[in-house]
Amino acid sequence: MKFFVDTADVGDVKKAKALGLADGVTTNPTLIQKSGQDFKKAIVEIARCIEGPVFTEVTREDTQGIVKEGKEFATWASNVVVKIPITQSGLEATRILESEKIGTALTLIFSPTQALLAAKAGASYICPFVGRLDDISSPGMDLIGQIVTIYSNFPEIQTEIIVASIRTTVHVLESALMGAHGVTIPFKLIEQLARHPLTDSGISRFLEDWKKVR
């Protein structure tokens, strides 16, 4: 399963890379704004740091505007993937960009039928949002189960499911159990995934016992 880092902070990307957990990076306008960095500078720096895709989100909403912005992003680095909110214009733009060999990731996916349309448009990736569904009392992981089933029913679908808006380690566990292609998570969740209280107490006990025999 692929681990993407959900950040616009190159420091976090480097830390995840050192752990072999930076198969890609996802950014969005909110993350860019939080990082306080210049948009293009941040993307170029991250794209230099990893070999995998760097999802870079468009802000135009009309088809031609999305295509124009996407083509511009694609000139910044060869591993930039154009991240596009799923709308009718977004689907049209996806078809155009993919036909020109520019990778796309359809984002803000909240229903299995949106995921089906994204696959039909030829998107390289989709980002279904689980946490924001949980936030409104709709089980986000049910969406992932349905998308995995639909995509498995039609083996010709090449679109990869990168589970997004992840809030907990259980979201990561369930994504792996369901067979999603990947997850995108903030670095602080990677730290949580690595830890277990029994590992910590086990290390302390071994070290205490070791002191007694030396």
Q: Smallest distance from the beta carbon of 8 to ligand E4P, in angstroms?
A: 10
Residues 15-44 that bind ligand E4P (CB under 6 A): 26, 28
β-strand 80-85 against 54-57: which pairing, if any?
parallel
Q: Which of 83, 188, 211, 212 is catalytic?
A: 83
Q: Which of 7, 63, 94, 165 binds ligand E4P (CB under 6 A)?
A: 165
Between CA 38 and CA 154 the distance in angstroms is: 41
Q: Between 61 and 155, name the residue whose CB sits nearer to ligand E4P.
A: 61
Query: Do 68 and 82 form a contact (C-beta atoms < 8 A)?
Result: no
Residues binding ligand E4P: number (CB under 6 A): 11
Q: Between 137 and 214, name the residue whose CB sits nearer to ligand E4P.
A: 137
Residue 147 sits in the site that holds ligand E4P (CB under 6 A)? no
Q: Which of 9, 184, 187, 189 binds ligand E4P (CB under 6 A)?
A: 184
Binding mask 43-82 for ligand E4P (x = CB under 6 A): ----------------------------------------
Stretch that binds ligand E4P, among 70-78, 90-98, 127-135, 190-198 (CB under 6 A): 127-135
- Give the count of beta carbons closer than 10 Å to the beta carbon of residue 13: 22
149-to-2, 115, 168 alpha-carbon distances in Å: 19, 11, 23
Residue 200, exposed/middle/buried by CB under 10 A (0-12, 13-18, 19+)? exposed
Between CA 63 and CA 57 the distance in angstroms is: 14
Tokens representing 102?
Answer: 């520019």
- For residue 153, which of 110, 106, 119 has the smallest C-alpha distance? 119
Residue 129 sits in the site that holds ligand E4P (CB under 6 A)? yes
Residue 83 appears among annotated catalytic residues? yes
159-to-6, 38, 105, 106, 148 alpha-carbon distances in Å: 19, 30, 9, 10, 11
Residues 95-124 that bind ligand E4P (CB under 6 A): 107
Q: Which residue is nearest to ligand E4P (CB)?
A: 165
Catalytic residues: 83
Residues forming the site for ligand E4P (CB under 6 A) = 6, 26, 28, 107, 127, 129, 131-132, 164-165, 184
